[in-house]
């Protein structure tokens, strides 16, 4: 059984023990049958539903304490659970259980002239450490994604809802044991000591294979700068919508408004609108009206301000800003080439969308824009693992290696090369 | 045109300019047609053949200088070019030209219930920096792999053969221009100043997406510890051959000898032999004889020494040693489970092979061993990009993220998510 923090002489001893247990659990999990992994996920869902009253009480207490600390409303909203959210968490577990097991899947396969048969086979990554802030659902999402992919995970959540996280973790942990899997496949760092994060970033003597930060910019930046092991993360979501000359105006208005205003605090929310100069004059009034009706503040370049004197001026800084708020910067560009150029200069490589009925132009945009997600005639707010059908996600990766875009179960696996011969030796 | 180092006021200015040019070239290369990329590779091959006398002269001069510095024979061998090696380099270029273009390949594709069509499409990684020691063929391999995959590359080779590298680089550079591609897609750091490596490891202001070290342990360790950008590398190749009870003795002898002795200095050479206790007594004499005939020194565990008193004792350190020399450590293990256990404890995760006629046992080994390459009835010396059919390789990755095993053109690409809709907005 996982021993409590109090059983250890020091933080170092505690973290080292967590690392060693995780590595051992990862070995066992790598060959765990899909049926047991799915059983654990379903039992965890049932257990969270069973104990929902208790979890909500714990969460309400932590919310009350956090309120006294003058945290923001957005912060409180992120850490808050209610009946619907508990049900959402349980549903995610069942969705992940319903996914195909990625472990053992053959990715590619070929035969060499000497008869060697080569296969690339999906395998777990090993031990991942997830470092997150105040969202209790991450506890369960990360555990579910890790277990489904045959990995072990070490969870380190924000101190403000540590008791809520521990309650959710307890449900998951019990489910692993009931399903006959290693309890240590999911471990939770139960001390708020910040040095625990440092230990995870060091890799705990080679026992951590991957670190995933999930939270605000300062957390991600610290992880990226200090980690001695690979990191999968996203820093910024400066997402663009480009409205092309050949657009259907109704689609343009709907997609712009939805991309910006559906939820302004998510990383897939649009922050900059680019409008083709050939259509700006014509389409601006409808777009502006629809945005203003939803309470969106607009900051425009000189061309937009010529069309609409009521628009405030966007500064150079605006093009580089992830507002995460009902504010939109707007620039007029010279067709799809201009849009691609603006995006190359200012995008954070997260998500961009083109609205056009011209399929040639759409393909130019798709090929010319180098972001993790590129959409044609769809809202940037589809940048989400659930919307991609991944069951759950641990974030949107904006790096260039290993995985780009939504990171779910399959993205948190790797592969090995299996070579089958009949006695071949190399000349 | 790429300006010479002497045109810059400082190393920092020089490296910054290289970084900016590389990023620009990467953008252009991302959409370069396959025909032009292949033309550049073939022109480079022709140019290297044309100038082979000149290149060999330059190389001979550098070899003479290196000899005076008392470097090892192995070192001299690695930096030495001759007619065959020049031809080999040119052939590699043509092999890479003949490969499919990975850029734009659809990796996977699915449709969501709301009609969104999602595709994962292969794209270049961007700018890679390759930091290597004294092997001039790396100059060409790295350039070829980078260009084929639509990337830009910054090459930093060992100072001992900097003039040989520059000559090869010159051939490649000229070929890019003739083919109508950006000359800056391949750049060579022409100063031996070690701070240039530091600049590459820092990412040069976000202009380097990936660092690949290729060389000895100390180089790789420095890169892994200092890099602020992702690294693809391999540190050790402690490869194992396991001879199972159900082996064909002839295959076992051939595979063990080839795995160890074909070339002892390559990372895929076997360093440890594991023999099933059920067959050790019977098979040891033939294996030992064949190894000794080839001049291999044997260090055994207590069980082997009981069978063969002439074997020296292996220490704990031996199981963790990559000899890269005609030395083999040998242990008797308790069947395939014992072999998997030994490998889990001591392997560097590079390459392991099982020799058995029992297919059930082979699958147990393949599933139970978590290394980049796992072979059945084949020599560990097949751990090589060329042998895998990759055309060329930049090394064998032993990390767990992005790519494992031989890293060729396709492994040095990434993907983006393309989502095609008809006006979908997110509810």
Residue A277 and residue A311 in contact, taking contact as beta carbons nearer than 8 Å: no
Q: Are residues B185 and B279 in the same domain?
A: no
Identify the weakest region by mean pLDDT among A68-77, B86-95, B335-344, B367-376: A68-77
Q: For B137-156, how does the pLDDT look when each residue is reduced to its tens digit (9 = 90+)? A: 999 999 999 999 999 999 99
Domain for residue B423, yes or no?
A: no
Q: Could you tell me the pLDDT band of residue B372, with boundaries at 50, 70 and 90?
A: very high
Q: Are residues A71 and A129 in the same domain?
A: yes
Residues 6+ away with beta carbon under 8 Å from A25: A152, A182, A183, A184, A185
Separation of alpha carbons B376 and B174, rounded Å: 44
pLDDT at residue A393 tops 70: yes
Domain for residue A392, yes or no?
A: no
Q: Could you tell me the pLDDT band of residue B217, with boundaries at 50, 70 and 90?
A: confident
- What letters, b where the CB count within 10 A reaches 16 and e where it falls short, cover A385-411? bebbbbbbbbbbbbbbbbbbbbbbbbb
Q: What is the CATH number of the domain that holds A251?
A: 3.40.309.10
Q: Are residues A219 and A262 in the same domain?
A: no
Residues 6+ away with beta carbon under 8 Å from A13: none
Distance from CA of B6 to the nearest CA of A (A): 30
Q: Are residues A109 and A219 in the same domain?
A: yes
Q: Are residues A35 and A172 in the same domain?
A: yes
Separation of alpha carbons B236 and B347, rounded Å: 9
Percent of all residues in chain B with a pLDDT value above 90, rounded to a whole number? 89
- Put simply, the answer to whether B382 touches A418 (Cβ < 8 Å) is no
SS3 content of chain A, % helix, strand, coil (to 5): 50, 20, 30
The chain B residue lying nearest A353, using CA atoms, is: B419
pLDDT, mean of residues A235-260? 96
User: In which element (H, E) is residue A286 found?
Assistant: helix A277-293
Beta-carbon count within 10 A of A180 CB? 11
Domain for residue B332, yes or no?
A: yes
pLDDT at residue B72 in the model: 87
Q: For B350-361, how does the pLDDT look when each residue is reduced to its tens digit (9 = 90+)? A: 999 999 999 999
Q: Are residues B208 and B258 in the same domain?
A: no
pLDDT, mean of residues B413-426? 98
Beta-carbon count within 10 A of B281 CB? 13
Identify the residue among A353, A423, A427 best suited for mutation to test binding to B, counting B beta carbons within 10 A and taking the highest.
A423
Q: Are residues B12 and B161 in the same domain?
A: yes
Q: For A259-286, how does the pLDDT look when each residue is reduced to its tens digit (9 = 90+)? A: 999 999 889 999 999 999 999 999 999 9
Q: Are residues B184 and B267 in the same domain?
A: no
pLDDT at residue B289 tops 90: yes
Predicted ipTM of the assembly: 0.94
Domain for residue A124, yes or no?
A: yes
Helix, strand, or coil here: B214? strand
B10 — phi, psi (to 5°)? -155, 165
Q: Which two tokens stand for residue B179?
A: 């083919």
Q: Which two tokens stand for residue A262?
A: 């559906």
- Put simply, the answer to whether B404 touches A416 (Cβ < 8 Å) is yes
pLDDT at residue A1 tops 80: no
Residues 6+ away with beta carbon under 8 Å from B24: B182, B184
The chain B residue lying nearest A248, using CA atoms, is: B423
Percent of all residues in chain A with a pLDDT value above 70, rounded to a whole number? 100
- Put simply, the answer to whether A210 touches B30 (Cβ < 8 Å) is no
Q: Could you tell me the pLDDT band of residue B2, with boundaries at 50, 70 and 90?
A: low
Q: Are residues B316 and B227 in the same domain?
A: no
Residue B171: domain span: 5-232+407-418
Residue B136 and residue B168 in contact, taking contact as beta carbons nearer than 8 Å: yes
Q: Which of B395, B391, B396 is nearest to B41 (CA)?
A: B391
Q: What is the CATH number of the domain that holds B211?
A: 3.40.605.10
Q: Which residues of B touch A255 (CB under 8 A)?
A: 423, 425
Separation of alpha carbons A93 and A337, rounded Å: 43
Which of A110, A384, A418 is the closest to B389 by Cβ?
Answer: A110
Q: Work out how many domains chain A is built from and give that number.
A: 2
Q: Which residues of A touch B110 (CB under 8 A)?
A: 389
Q: For B325-352, how does the pLDDT look when each residue is reduced to its tens digit (9 = 90+)? A: 999 999 999 999 999 999 999 999 999 9
Q: Could you tell me the pLDDT band of residue A2, with boundaries at 50, 70 and 90?
A: low
- Put simply, the answer to whether A399 touches B230 (Cβ < 8 Å) is yes
- Put simply, the answer to whether B401 touches A402 (Cβ < 8 Å) is yes
Domain for residue B120, yes or no?
A: yes
Distance from CA of A398 to the nearest CA of B (A): 10
Which of A417, A423, A426 is the closest to B404 by Cβ?
Answer: A417
Separation of alpha carbons A235 and A182, rounded Å: 33
Helix, strand, or coil here: A153? strand
Which of A250, A259, A373 is the closest to B419 by Cβ?
Answer: A373
Q: Which residues pair with A329 in a beta bridge?
A: A272, A299
Domain for residue A109, yes or no?
A: yes
Q: Which two tokens stand for residue B155?
A: 């090459």
Q: Is the dihedral of CA A14, A18, A20, A21 positive or negative?
A: positive
- Put simply, the answer to whether A426 touches B258 (Cβ < 8 Å) is yes
Q: For A364-381, how does the pLDDT look when each residue is reduced to its tens digit (9 = 90+)? A: 999 999 999 999 999 999
Q: Could you tell me the pLDDT band of residue B364, with boundaries at 50, 70 and 90?
A: very high
- Put simply, the answer to whether B374 touches A417 (Cβ < 8 Å) is yes
Q: Could you tell me the pLDDT band of residue A70, with boundaries at 50, 70 and 90?
A: confident
pLDDT at residue B120 in the model: 97
Q: Which of B144, B146, B150 is nearest to B175 (CA)?
A: B144
pLDDT, mean of residues A10-29? 96
pLDDT at residue B1 tops 60: no
Q: Which residues of A touch B30 (CB under 8 A)?
A: 370
Which of B125, B399, B425 is the closest to A258 by Cβ?
Answer: B425
Q: With both helix axes pointing from N to C terminus, report the angle between A83-98 and A34-50 in degrees, rounded to the nearest 10.
A: 170
Q: Could you tell me the pLDDT band of residue A233, with boundaries at 50, 70 and 90?
A: confident
User: In which element (H, E) is residue A307 found?
Assistant: helix A302-307
Q: For A96-133, how does the pLDDT look when each residue is reduced to its tens digit (9 = 90+)? A: 999 999 999 999 999 999 999 999 999 999 999 999 98
pLDDT at residue B225 tops 90: no
Q: Which residues of A touch B116 (CB under 8 A)?
A: 378, 382, 387
Q: Which residues of B touch A402 (CB under 8 A)?
A: 401-402
Q: Which residues of A touch B387 (CB under 8 A)?
A: 112, 116, 426
Domain for residue B26, yes or no?
A: yes
- Put simply, the answer to whether B389 touches A112 (Cβ < 8 Å) is yes
As a whole number, the mean pLDDT across chain A is: 95
Q: Are residues A281 and A224 in the same domain?
A: no
Residue A15 and residue A66 in contact, taking contact as beta carbons nearer than 8 Å: no
User: In which element (H, E) is residue A299 found?
Assistant: strand A297-300
Q: Could you tell me the pLDDT band of residue A183, with boundaries at 50, 70 and 90?
A: very high
Q: Are residues A26 and A90 in the same domain?
A: yes
Domain for residue A342, yes or no?
A: yes
Q: Is the dihedral of CA A36, A41, A47, A50 positive or negative?
A: negative
pLDDT at residue A215 in the model: 86
Q: Could you tell me the pLDDT band of residue B176, with boundaries at 50, 70 and 90?
A: very high
Residue B130 and residue B117 in contact, taking contact as beta carbons nearer than 8 Å: no
- As to burial, measured by CB atoms within 10 angstroms (0-12 exposed, 13-18 middle, 19+ buried), residue A116 is buried
Q: Are residues B272 and B123 in the same domain?
A: no
């Amino acid at each position: 059984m996982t021993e409590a923090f109090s059983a250890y002489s020091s933080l170092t001893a505690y973290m080292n023990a967590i690392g060693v247990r995780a590595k051992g659990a990862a070995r066992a999990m790598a060959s765990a049958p899909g049926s047991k992994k799915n059983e654990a996920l379903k039992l965890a869902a049932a257990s969270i539903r069973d104990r929902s009253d208790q979890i909500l009480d714990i969460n309400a207490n932590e919310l009350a304490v956090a309120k006294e600390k003058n945290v923001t409303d957005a912060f409180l909203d992120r850490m808050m659970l209610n009946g619907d959210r508990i049900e959402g968490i349980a549903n995610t577990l069942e969705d992940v259980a319903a996914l195909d097991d990625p472990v053992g899947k053959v990715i590619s396969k070929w035969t060499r002239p000497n008869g060697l048969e080569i296969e690339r086979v999906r395998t777990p990554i090993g031990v991942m450490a997830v470092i997150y802030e105040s969202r209790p659902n991450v506890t369960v999402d990360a555990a579910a994604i890790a277990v489904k992919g045959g990995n072990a995970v070490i969870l380190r959540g924000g101190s403000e809802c540590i008791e809520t996280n521990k309650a959710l973790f307890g449900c998951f942990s019990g489910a692993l044991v009931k399903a006959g899997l290693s309890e240590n496949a999911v471990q939770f760092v139960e001390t708020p000591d910040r040095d625990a994060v440092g230990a995870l970033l060091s890799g705990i003597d080679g026992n951590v294979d991957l670190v995933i930060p999930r939270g605000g910019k300062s957390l991600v930046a610290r992880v990226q700068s200090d980690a001695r092991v690979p990191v999968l993360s996203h820093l910024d979501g400066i997402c663009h919508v480009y409205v092309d000359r050949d657009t259907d105006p109704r689609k343009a208005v709907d997609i712009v408004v939805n991309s910006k205003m559906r939820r302004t605090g998510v990383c897939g929310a649009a922050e900059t609108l680019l409008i083709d100069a050939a259509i700006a004059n014509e389409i601006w009034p409808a777009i502006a009206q629809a945005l203003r009706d939803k309470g969106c503040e607009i900051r425009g370049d000189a061309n937009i301000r010529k069309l609409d004197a009521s628009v405030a001026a966007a500064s150079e800084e605006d093009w580089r800003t992830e507002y995460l708020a009902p504010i939109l910067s707007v620039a007029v560009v010279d067709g799809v080439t201009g849009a691609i150029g603006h995006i190359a200069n200012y995008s954070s490589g997260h998500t961009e969308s083109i609205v056009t009925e011209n399929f040639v132009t759409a393909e130019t945009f798709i090929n010319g824009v180098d972001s993790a997600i590129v959409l044609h005639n769809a809202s940037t707010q589809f940048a989400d693992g659930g919307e991609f059908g991944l069951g759950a996600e641990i974030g949107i990766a904006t790096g260039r290696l290993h995985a780009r875009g939504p990171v779910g179960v399959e993205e948190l696996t790797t592969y090995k090369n299996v070579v089958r011969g009949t006695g071949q030796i190399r000349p």
